[in-house]
């Protein structure tokens, strides 16, 4: 492991004003996105859609530090034969890869899941490195409900995240460690804070046991928000202060950057919350975005699978990338959305 190289990659991914585009939707997940815009879910359409994003120069060169890819995408070529990885690299961004095999039911813990995919991961990472990936992502899912989460669920997922992260670093790949406490349900913001603190403390303990170098990783956590069904939805300031309070308790300053997931928030809420955190400032880590739907919903709708709409799709993507770039420096305003 070359820690200097891993640290350099991690810092480039979260450079000032830059964040990460999560374009790693599985074939099943992108089916749901395409169904909403009436687009057939086939390989050509998936390629054309992602090529449209990766060729959006204003967004990719100025606001996107890294792109998380799906296995199919990292192997695909654009219509003109250029590998999609080369489009990303040509824009000065870093290609990454989703390597987990998804959340599966956790034995002995009804209603809870553990993320699988460790079997054969060392060999897959070697292959992905040859294909150009310099970082990877593994998502653990923690649900809040009656009598959950359990210690069994949090511990099992934290342990798997640590084993994954150690294998990534062994193979010259920066791990994005993603423990997501879901915002489904009717729990309040205090319950989200309690569960997220518990989760992050377990994750960093397991990372320590696995000898993961914190300087060579990125954390991708949820923000501290109430459940979507909670009667009280807190202000951006409440979310920012609660999230920073949790990070200060749980995340060592050696971690170069924290790139939040949007987790079902609206485009504008995800941007507003991030900006409010950065406006507070004085933090030891870069705070930025690693959004999927919150960066892509608008360009997907504008594109709608039609070649004549590519420019409109790119314009929508460039706008959302710019808004989140402003948020990553604490300079987003509501008026900027319509400027």
How distant, in Å, are the alpha carbons of 94, 135, 137 from that of 9? Answer: 8, 8, 14
Strand partners, 287: 258
What distance lies between CA 30 and its chain's CA centroid?
16
Kindly name the residue from 25, 178, 180, 206 that is annotated as catalytic: 178
Which one from 12, 98, 137, 220 is the annotated catalytic residue? 220
Q: Within 13 Å of residue 101, how many CA atoms lie on the same side as its CB?
A: 11
3 state DSSP class of 103: strand
Three-state SS at 136: strand
Query: Does the annotation mark 25 as catalytic?
Result: no
Residue in 114, 231, 236, 94 with CA at minimum distance from that of residue 172:
94
Tokens of 67: 């792109």
Strands 64-69 and 19-23: parallel
Distance CA 106, CA 115 (A): 9
The radius of gyration of the chain's CA atoms, rounded to the nearest angstrom, is 19
For residues 146 and 186, is the Cβ–Cβ distance under 8 A? no
Gap between the Cα atoms of 98 and 24, Å rounded = 6
14: which DSSP letter?
T
Catalytic positions? 178, 220
């Amino acid at each position: 492991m070359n820690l200097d190289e891993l640290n350099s990659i991690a810092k480039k991914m979260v450079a000032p004003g830059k964040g990460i585009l999560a374009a790693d939707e599985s074939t099943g997940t992108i089916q749901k996105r395409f169904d909403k815009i009436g687009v057939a879910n086939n390989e050509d359409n998936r390629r054309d859609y992602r090529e449209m994003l990766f060729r959006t120069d204003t967004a990719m060169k100025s606001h996107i530090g890294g792109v998380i890819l799906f296995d199919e995408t990292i192997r695909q070529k654009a219509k003109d034969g250029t590998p999609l990885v080369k489009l990303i690299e040509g824009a000065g961004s870093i290609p990454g890869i989703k390597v987990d095999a998804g959340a599966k039911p956790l034995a002995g813990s009804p209603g809870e899941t553990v993320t699988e995919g460790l079997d054969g991961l060392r060999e897959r990472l070697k292959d992905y490195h040859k294909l150009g990936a310099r970082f990877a992502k593994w998502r653990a899912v923690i649900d809040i409900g009656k009598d959950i989460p359990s210690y069994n669920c949090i511990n099992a997922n934290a342990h798997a995240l640590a084993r994954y992260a150690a294998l990534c670093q062994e193979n010259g790949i920066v791990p994005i460690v993603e423990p997501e406490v879901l915002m489904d349900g009717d729990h309040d913001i205090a319950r989200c804070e309690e569960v997220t603190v518990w989760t992050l403390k377990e994750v960093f303990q397991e990372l320590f046991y696995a000898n993961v170098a914190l300087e060579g990783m990125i954390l991708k956590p949820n923000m501290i928000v109430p459940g979507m069904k909670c009667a009280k939805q807190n202000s951006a300031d409440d979310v920012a202060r609660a999230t920073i309070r949790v990070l200060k308790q749980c995340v060592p300053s050696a971690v170069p950057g924290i790139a939040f997931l949007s987790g079902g928030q609206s485009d504008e809420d995800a941007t507003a919350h991030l900006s409010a955190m950065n406006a507070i400032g004085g933090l030891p880590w870069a705070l930025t975005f690693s959004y999927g739907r919150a960066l892509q919903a608008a360009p997907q709708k504008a594109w709608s699978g039609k070649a004549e709409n590519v420019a409109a799709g790119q314009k929508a993507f460039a706008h959302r990338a710019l808004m989140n770039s402003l948020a990553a420096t604490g300079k987003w305003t509501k008026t900027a959305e319509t400027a």
